[in-house]
Amino acid sequence: MIGTEHVQLMAAYNRWQNESIYSAANSLGDAERCEDLGAFFGSIEATLNHILWADRIWMSRFAGWPAPNVPDIPSSTGEIKDWADLKTQRTALDANIIEWTQGLSAQDLSGDLTWHSGAAARDMTKPFWILLTHFFNHQTHHRGQVHAMLTSKGARPDDTDIPFMPGIA
């Protein structure tokens, strides 16, 4: 099982990487960010929308936060149409995730979570720590796709290795 320090590290990593990805994406024009580059969700912006959507759906399950405005994975790629709004909402969500992880206890991580999975079309129950691991892994997975799309466009995100994250002892 993971501990609270690990969860807090991953929340900080998530913010650091999002700052890097969004900064690199900001160097591109709207058309380049929205161009279908053959990734799972097509474009840079669609993939970033999906990551934000997924983080919101999981935080609605984990902490009772408001669910996203769109109901499912297929519509997750277009929830936020405005680039500036997407960046603002990402920054705010990352700050809230960090704050939330700082309040977690070992006891919080030891229980199960039951939720309704739209993707599986049924209720599911899994250990909470496994779902938190999935939450952070999902972000990293799709950010890797965005990183590849950005570099194909000549944008250069920062390093992605946790040991090089600022503030790591």
Mind listing the pLDDT tens digit of every residue in the chain (169 residues)?
Answer: 899 999 999 999 999 999 999 999 999 999 999 999 999 999 999 999 999 999 999 999 999 999 999 999 999 999 999 999 999 999 999 999 999 999 999 999 999 999 999 999 999 999 999 999 999 999 999 999 999 999 999 999 999 999 999 988 7
Question: What is the Cα 140 distance to its own chain's centre?
Answer: 7
| CA distance linking residue 121 with residue 142, whole number of Å | 23
Number of H helices and E strands in the chain, helices first, is 6, 2
| CA distance linking residue 80 with residue 128, whole number of Å | 29
CATH numeric code, 4-105+115-162: 1.20.120.450
The pLDDT value given to residue 105: 96
| CA distance linking residue 169 with residue 165, whole number of Å | 10
Domain ranges of the chain: 4-105+115-162
- For residues 68 and 118, the answer to whether their CB atoms sit within 8 Å is no
Tokens encoding 118: 């739209």
pTM value is 0.96
The pLDDT value given to residue 73: 95
Q: Could you report the per-residue pLDDT of 144-167, keeping only the tens digit for each? A: 999 999 999 999 999 999 999 998
